[in-house]
Amino acid sequence: MRNLICAAAALTLAAGCVEGGLGAGSGGDTDDIATNRGDVPSWDEFLANTYREPNEGPWIVNGDVPIWTEKELRAFYQRLTRHDGALIVNTIGGRDDIWNEQQRVNLTYCVSTSFGSRYDAMLRDMKAGAALWEESANLKFVHLPSEDSNCNASNSNVVFDIRPVSGQSYLARAFFPAQPRSQRNVLVDTSSFNTRWSLTNIMAHELGHTLGFRHEHTRREAGTCFEDNNWRALTPYDSDSIMHYPQCNGTDPDLNFSAGDRVGAEAIYGPPGDGCAFADPNFETPIVDEVTATVPFTIPDGCDDVEADGGTLAWRVRGGTQQGSVTLRVSGNTLVGDMPTFEPNTVIEYTITARGNNGRVTTFPANEADPEYQLYFGDTDSLFFDDFESGSGNWSLNGFQVGVTRASEGGDPADAYSGRAVLSDSLGADYSADANNVTASVTVGGFDARRYESVRLQFRRYLNIEDSAFDEAVITVDGTEVFTNATRGLPGDNNAENDLHHLDREWRFVDIDITNLAQDGSVTIAVSLQSDAGLQFGGWNLDDVAVVGFLGGAFCGDGNTDPDEECDDGNNDNGDGCSATCTTEGGGDGDGDGDTTGGDGDGDGDTTGGDGDGDGDTTTGGDGDGDTTTTSGGDGDDDGTGDGGGGGGGGTTTGGCSVSDAAPGTALPLGLFLALAFIRRRRR
C-alpha cells in the first residue's frame, strides 16, 4: 500500500517516499505494485495520504502532476487500482494530449518578477531547459517580458505562467496541454535552487509535461512507481529519460536529457524545422492619447522572418452614432497611428487589433467583460484628485486598504498606475470569501457645478472579480450606482455557468459623467465589493481618482453678456449690480468706489446730496449756469466754468455724468468701469 500511495502522491519532483528523490525523502520499498494487489489502499486511505496544496489547492499525484477536483482524483485512483501494466505521451479518451501545429511553435510564457533576486537564474534555466526540447522537435517556447509583472494564473496573454512557491512537497510541478488556462502553471519551489539536480534539468522535466509527455517510470519495465494507463508509448522503454525519476529505478542520477527523449519528441512534434513558422510578434499594451495611438512589439528570438504587419484602432463615440477607424502603420518596433480630432467633452470607446505577417491578429483589450477602452477628449478643471501617495487622506475605509501593491495569483498588478500606492480591497491578495460591506468612500465638495457643462468621475482601474451573478464590484455616487461588473446573465439551473469574470490585464482608464448628481457642488463616491463562498480573484485596485469639470462654452461669470443674460460682470457675486445668476440688480455703483452707495455729491465728505442750486434742498439739481435749466452742466461752484451739475468741490460735467476732479473719492467714467468689469473673467 505504501508504494502505491508514494507513486500517486509524493514522488519527486517532490519531497517523497523514496530516499534519493529530488526532494527530501525517508526511504521506502520498491515492490512492483502489480504483484502487490493486497496492498492496494482504500479510496479513503488514498485520499487521506495524497498531498494537497494549501488553501484548497490541487492534489499532487505522480510527484508533480496537479489534479484539481476530487472527482478527477477519484477517477485517477480507479485507473491506478486497475493497473494492467506496458518517451510516452498522455492520452485523453484515447487521443494524444498535445499542442496543435500553430500553438506548438508559439508557447508563450511569463516568469514572475516575484522570484526577486532569483529572477535572472530562473529565466536563464527556463530558456536552457526549453532549448533541449526545441533542438529536438518543431517546438518554440516564447518568453513575453511585458507580462512578467502580471504573471499569474489569470493572465490570458500567455499560454502559461512560471511562479515561485515555498514549503511545498515538490521541487516543481506543471500541467498537460488540455488543461484550462487557470491550471496551466509551472510552480517552482524555492528548494529547487539548492538541490543536486540542475535547475535547467528540473525545468526541462516539467516542460516535458507541458508538452504532453508522461513519466517514463509508469511503464511496466520500471518495476515500480506505476501511475496509470492513460498514455501511448513512443519509443522503447528508456531508463535514462529525463522523464524518468532516478529513484524509480532510473539509470541517470543527474536527470539529463537522453537520446530517447529526442526521438520521442520528434515522433510527436516532427523534426526540428522552422519553429517560427507560426510565431507571432509579441504585441504589448497599447498607449493611446488624444494625438497618437501606439502599440509596442518585439519579435521572438531567432524568428527573423516574423514581422508586424500593421493594425487597426476601431472607435465609436459614446452616446452617439459617429464611428470610424485609425490605421496603425509599422514604425520601428511600434505600430503607430494618428488619432482624429473630436469635439471637447467627448468620450470614445475603442478596440485595437494588431497583425503579424502571417495574418493572425492580437486583440486589445483582453477582457471579455469589458472589451473596449475609453478615452476622454477635452480640457478640464480639477475639482478633486487622489493618487494615494500620501495615505488614505479623507477616505473612509471599511475593509479597504491604501498602500503599495504587489502582483498576486488572483490578478493584482505588480505596480501602481502612478507612484507606488493604490486603493485596494486586499493588497497583493485575493479578496475574502463571503465578503460583505467592504467599502471605501470619500466626499468631494466645495465646487460650483453651475460653472461647468459637465462634471465627471475619472480613475484608473485594475479589477479582477468573478461574474456578478456571484461577486459584485460596485461604485456609487450619492447612492446612485454608476458602475458594476458584468454577468453572463444565465438564470435558474444555468446559474453555475455564469462565467463572465471581469479580468483586467492592465490599468484601465474609466470616465463616468456625474453632472446630474453633482448639481449641489458635492458628491460622495463609494467603492464596494461583495462576494460569495466560491471563486475569488484579486478584487479592486484604484489609482489617480479624480473629479473634474468641463467648462464648455459660455457661462454666467465669464464676463460676456450672452443672449440669455441681462448682465455678466465676470464674477458670480451678488450685490455688485449684476447678480450671481447674471440678472441686473437695483442701485448700481454710482461713484465708482466699488459699492452701491451714493457718492459725495457736494464735497462735504458724506454721501448725502449737496444743494446745487441754492434753493435750500438737496433733491433737485440747480441751474449752475444761469440759463434757467438744470439738465445741462452749469457752474455750481462759482468758479466760472460750467462744471457744477453735481455741485461741490469744483469739477466738470462730462456727458451729464458728474465726476470729481479731486483725487479723494474720484468717480470712474461708466465706460471705464464696465471695461474693468469685463476684465474680471474667472475662466482659465
Residue 510 has pLDDT above 90, yes or no: yes
On whether both 209 and 265 belong to a single domain, the answer is yes
- Inside any domain, residue 124: yes
Provide the mean pLDDT of the chain. 80
Please report, for residues 86, 93, 188, 192, 223, the alpha-carbon distance to residue 216 in angstroms, rounded to integers and kept in the order given: 11, 20, 21, 21, 11
What does the pLDDT average to over 83-101?
69
- Inside any domain, residue 603: no
Task: Identify whether 365 is preceded by a cis peptide bond (ω within 30 of 0).
Answer: yes
- Inside any domain, residue 509: yes
Share of the chain above pLDDT 90, in %: 47
On whether both 104 and 169 belong to a single domain, the answer is yes
* Cα–Cα distance, 621 to 427 (Å, whole number): 80
User: How many folded domains does the chain comprise?
Assistant: 3
227-252: pLDDT as tens digits: 777 777 777 888 889 999 988 988 88
Range of the domain at 459: 381-550
On whether both 181 and 257 belong to a single domain, the answer is yes
119-154: pLDDT as tens digits: 999 999 999 999 999 999 989 999 999 999 989 988
- Inside any domain, residue 638: no
On whether both 257 and 293 belong to a single domain, the answer is no
pLDDT for position 639: 45
308-324: pLDDT as tens digits: 999 999 999 999 999 99
- Please say whether the beta carbons of 311 and 354 come within 8 A: yes
Annotate 395-405 with b (16+ C-beta within 10 A) or e (fewer).
Answer: beeebbbbbeb
For position 508, which CATH number holds? 2.60.120.200
On whether both 318 and 410 belong to a single domain, the answer is no
What does the pLDDT average to over 37-47?
65
What does the pLDDT average to over 368-394?
96
Three-state DSSP class for 583?
coil
- Inside any domain, residue 655: no
Using the structure block, give the residue that is written with the C-alpha cell 526545441.
Answer: 134
Residue 622 has pLDDT above 60, yes or no: no
pLDDT for position 302: 76
On whether both 194 and 50 belong to a single domain, the answer is yes
Q: Which amino acid is at 538?
A: G
Which of 36-40, 214-218, 403-407 shows the lowest mean pLDDT across its residues? 36-40
Structural domain ending residue among the three candidates 317, 351, 373? 373
pLDDT for position 33: 24
On whether both 342 and 405 belong to a single domain, the answer is no
95-121: pLDDT as tens digits: 788 898 888 988 999 999 999 999 999
* Cα–Cα distance, 383 to 610 (Å, whole number): 52
On whether both 28 and 91 belong to a single domain, the answer is yes
On whether both 247 and 295 belong to a single domain, the answer is no
Residue 305 or residue 408, greater confidence: 305
pLDDT for position 309: 95
290-311: pLDDT as tens digits: 999 999 999 887 788 889 999 9
For position 301, which CATH number holds? 2.60.40.10
Taking the CA atoms of residue 449, residue 454, residue 460 and residue 463 in that order, the dihedral angle to the nearest 10 degrees is 100
pLDDT for position 2: 36
Q: Which helix (H) or strand (E) holds 391?
A: none
pLDDT for position 641: 45
* Cα–Cα distance, 594 to 517 (Å, whole number): 37
* Cα–Cα distance, 209 to 652 (Å, whole number): 104
For residue 90, how many other CB atoms are within 10 A of its CB?
Answer: 22
Residue 472 has pLDDT above 80, yes or no: yes
Share of the chain above pLDDT 70, in %: 76
512, with CB counted inside 10 A (0-12, 13-18, 19+), is middle
On whether both 81 and 229 belong to a single domain, the answer is yes
pLDDT for position 275: 61
On whether both 238 and 341 belong to a single domain, the answer is no
- Please say whether the beta carbons of 373 and 383 come within 8 A: no
On whether both 23 and 135 belong to a single domain, the answer is yes
Q: Which amino acid is at 353?
A: T
Residue 39 or residue 9, greater confidence: 39
630-679: pLDDT as tens digits: 444 444 444 444 444 444 434 433 333 333 333 444 344 444 433 434 43
Helix, strand and coil in the chain, % to nearest 5: 20, 25, 55
177 Cβ partners below 8 Å, 6+ apart?
97, 98, 99, 210, 211, 212
Structural domain ending residue among the three candidates 204, 234, 269? 269
* Cα–Cα distance, 470 to 484 (Å, whole number): 12
- Inside any domain, residue 671: no
Residue 171 has pLDDT above 90, yes or no: yes
- Inside any domain, residue 311: yes
pLDDT for position 645: 42
- Inside any domain, residue 653: no
* Cα–Cα distance, 171 to 156 (Å, whole number): 25
Residue 531 has pLDDT above 90, yes or no: yes
Residue 210 has pLDDT above 50, yes or no: yes
Q: Which amino acid is at 322?
A: Q
Residue 532 has pLDDT above 60, yes or no: yes
For position 89, which CATH number holds? 3.40.390
pTM for this one?
A: 0.59
When pLDDT is cut at 50, 70 and 90, the band that residue 269 belongs to is confident
Residue 432 or residue 38, greater confidence: 432
pLDDT for position 587: 52
pLDDT for position 28: 28
What does the pLDDT average to over 335-361?
95
* Cα–Cα distance, 669 to 297 (Å, whole number): 68
pLDDT for position 68: 80
SS3 per-residue string spanning 523-566: EEEEEEEECCCCCCCCECEEEEEEEEEECCCCCCCCCCCCCCCC
Strand 346-356, strand 361-364: pairing: antiparallel
